[in-house]
């Protein structure tokens, strides 16, 4: 519950201009943004130092942004195209103001990160060329930004978990109560509090409450520390929940991934093969759209339609392609066999059914130019489900099978915010002094997810929130 300024219970009390809760890309951008705008910021991070960096540290941290034709040979990608892509993938449900701001601010935020020393490389193949990733990945990105904060003498308090907002009598947020190794600490903030502390994906009770009973056993891809306190404490202070609380981001994972903090164990090459369920039957149009626009929803179909476990099958024609390895970090070796009958035996799938599935699929493959960089229309005819693009017969042994499942990365539900990262009250007005950035923001993603959008969201809105909170300090009388 929110506490009043000066309420009993805190062993210590400190004053800053801006308190940032959470130290992934959103929190780091917020703290750097507030500092460059002249505010005295502090960052509180629940994890100990070696585990700082939240989900961001587990990610490749690929970022989508508008750009001119680039050094990697990719065509121009405009802010309007990015806007259209993000709105289309949410079926028009995302908040247009938030998406517009994200798309309009992404390119200059990339430049801002570059000025801190981030070096970039080309993103994963076959994504239409709109993304980059830091050469050092998400871990390198957060380490670099923490070093920049340290260089600016911004204090970072590790193992410090925010638990309750501190309110003034008029309902404005003036600080946050935290639990630290030194006990309960009140951090007061004249400019406000920026919640950048992730979603509720690591909280099994909230997962089941909002996503459903199946969600208790999902593999957690990222940080164990994102357990939803930011959302809970904001709503306890009147913040409006917003966005799709019943859905989440996930990916098609190697089913052998560790249960918690497994990192990048996703198969991003499934469009080169076919999925079969435990009965050896196809159930997904693997070539429906670019991988970036299907991996989240396919992972949920594996959970919902295949009982949480399926197989991705490939032959040597796929396996020998250079892109195959670039789009897969193996957790273990694939199952491999000279015949489909042997493969079926090894993976415990009925052999006759698998042979029948593959024979029907192979017979349905149509001619055309195979091109993974575009929706090549080289599909199947006469089978259900079809494979709409990139269909090649599976006939080049030895055959490979990788066990797949769906995991959870972050949750879609969050707080209602405006494009200035200010959190809305259920009554409609903004809550003075309360900001959100990154995963705690709702209204970006619905049912599906446009690849490479979350890290850039954290950077864009973290920076905005930092500037806004700093401006609020400057605007105070006296």
By CB under 6 A, name the binding residues for ligand FAD.
21-27, 44-47, 52-56, 58-62, 161-162, 196-198, 221-223, 225-226, 229, 263-264, 409-410, 438-439, 452-455, 458
Contact between 312 and 387 under an 8 Å Cβ cutoff? The reply is no
Cis bond upstream, residue 398 (ω within 30): yes
In the complex, minimum distance from the CB of residue 385 to ligand FAD, in angstroms, rounded to a whole number: 27
Contact between 24 and 142 under an 8 Å Cβ cutoff? The reply is yes
Residue number with CB closer to ligand FAD (47 or 343):
47
In the complex, minimum distance from the CB of residue 380 to ligand FAD, in angstroms, rounded to a whole number: 30
Residue number with CB closer to ligand FAD (56 or 271):
56
Residue number with CB closer to ligand FAD (167 or 344):
167
The kind and range of the H/E element at 17 are: strand 12-21
Give 96: exposed, middle or buried? Use CB within 10 Å, 0-12, 13-18, 19+. Answer: middle
d(CA 16, CA 450): 37
In the complex, minimum distance from the CB of residue 320 to ligand FAD, in angstroms, rounded to a whole number: 26
Residue number with CB closer to ligand FAD (179 or 278):
179
Q: How far is CA 337 from CA 137, 271, 343, 358, 436, in A?
A: 35, 21, 5, 15, 51
d(CA 294, CA 277): 18
Q: How many CA atoms lie within 13 A of 346 on its CB side?
A: 17
Q: Which phi and psi angles does 125 have, rounded to 5°?
A: -70, 160
Residue number with CB closer to ligand FAD (161 or 460):
161
**DSSP structural state of residue 74:** P
- With b for 16 or more beta-carbon neighbours within 10 A and e for fewer, the 439-478 pattern comes to bbbbbbbbebbbbbbbbbbbbbbbbbbbbbbbebbeeeee
In the complex, minimum distance from the CB of residue 321 to ligand FAD, in angstroms, rounded to a whole number: 21
In the complex, minimum distance from the CB of residue 86 to ligand FAD, in angstroms, rounded to a whole number: 12
Residue number with CB closer to ligand FAD (162 or 391):
162
**DSSP structural state of residue 380:** B
Q: Where are the beta strands (DSSP E) in 66-182?
A: 120-122, 131-134, 156-157, 161-167, 173-180
By beta-carbon distance, which residue lies closest to ligand FAD?
24
Residue number with CB closer to ligand FAD (74 or 378):
74
d(CA 221, CA 198): 13
Q: Which residues contact 92 (CB under 8 A, 6 or more apart)?
A: none
In the complex, minimum distance from the CB of residue 319 to ligand FAD, in angstroms, rounded to a whole number: 23
Residue number with CB closer to ligand FAD (271 or 453):
453
Other CB atoms closer than 10 Å to residue 283's CB: what's the count? 17
In the complex, minimum distance from the CB of residue 323 to ligand FAD, in angstroms, rounded to a whole number: 17
In the complex, minimum distance from the CB of residue 473 to ligand FAD, in angstroms, rounded to a whole number: 21
Residue number with CB closer to ligand FAD (361 or 461):
461
In the complex, minimum distance from the CB of residue 24 to ligand FAD, in angstroms, rounded to a whole number: 2
């Amino acid at each position: 519950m929110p506490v009043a300024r000066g309420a009993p219970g805190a062993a210590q009390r400190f004053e800053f201009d801006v308190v940032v809760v959470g130290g992934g890309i959103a929190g780091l951008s917020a703290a750097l943004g507030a500092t460059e705008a002249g505010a005295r910021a502090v960052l509180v991070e629940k994890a100990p130092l070696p585990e700082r960096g939240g989900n961001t540290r587990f990610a490749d941290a690929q970022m989508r942004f508008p750009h001119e034709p680039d050094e990697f040979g990719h065509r121009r990608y405009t802010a309007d195209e990015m806007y259209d892509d993000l709105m289309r993938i949410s079926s028009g449900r995302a908040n247009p103001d938030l998406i517009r701001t994200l798309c309009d601010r992404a390119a200059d935020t990339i430049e801002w990160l570059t000025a801190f020393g981030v070096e970039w490389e080309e993103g994963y193949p076959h994504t239409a060329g709109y993304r980059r990733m830091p050469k050092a990945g998400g871990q390198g990105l957060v380490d670099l930004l923490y070093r920049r904060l340290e260089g600016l003498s911004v204090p970072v308090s590790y193992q410090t978990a925010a638990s309750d907002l501190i309110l003034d009598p008029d309902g404005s947020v003036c600080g946050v109560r935290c639990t630290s190794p030194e006990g309960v600490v009140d951090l007061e903030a004249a400019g406000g509090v920026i919640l950048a502390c992730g979603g509720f994906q690591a909280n099994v009770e909230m997962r089941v409450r909002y996503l459903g009973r199946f969600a208790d056993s999902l593999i957690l891809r990222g940080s164990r520390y994102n357990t939803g306190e930011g959302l809970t404490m904001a709503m306890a202070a009147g913040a409006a929940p917003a966005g799709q609380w019943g859905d989440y981001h996930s990916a098609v994972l190697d089913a052998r991934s560790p249960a918690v903090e497994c990192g990048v164990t996703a198969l991003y090459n499934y469009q080169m093969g076919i999925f079969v369920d435990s009965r050896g039957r196809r159930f997904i149009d693997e070539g429906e759209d670019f991988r970036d626009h299907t991996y989240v929803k396919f992972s949920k179909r594996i959970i919902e339609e295949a009982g949480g476990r399926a197989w991705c099958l490939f032959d040597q024609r796929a396996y020998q392609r250079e892109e195959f390895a670039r789009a897969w970090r193996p957790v273990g070796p694939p199952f491999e066999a000279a015949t489909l009958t042997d493969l079926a035996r090894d993976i415990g799938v009925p052999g006759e059914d698998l042979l029948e599935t593959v024979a029907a699929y192979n017979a349905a493959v149509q001619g055309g130019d195979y091109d993974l960089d575009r929706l090549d229309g080289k599909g199947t005819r006469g089978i259900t489900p079809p494979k709409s693009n990139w269909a090649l017969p599976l006939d080049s042994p030895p055959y490979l099978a990788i066990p797949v499942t769906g995991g959870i990365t972050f949750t879609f539900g969050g707080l209602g915010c405006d494009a200035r990262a200010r959190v809305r009250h259920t009554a409609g007005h903004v809550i003075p002094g309360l900001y959100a950035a990154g995963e705690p923001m709702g209204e970006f993603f619905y049912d599906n997810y446009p690849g490479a959008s979350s890290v850039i969201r954290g950077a864009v809105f973290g920076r905005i929130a930092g500037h806004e909170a700093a401006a609020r300090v400057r605007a105070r009388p006296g």
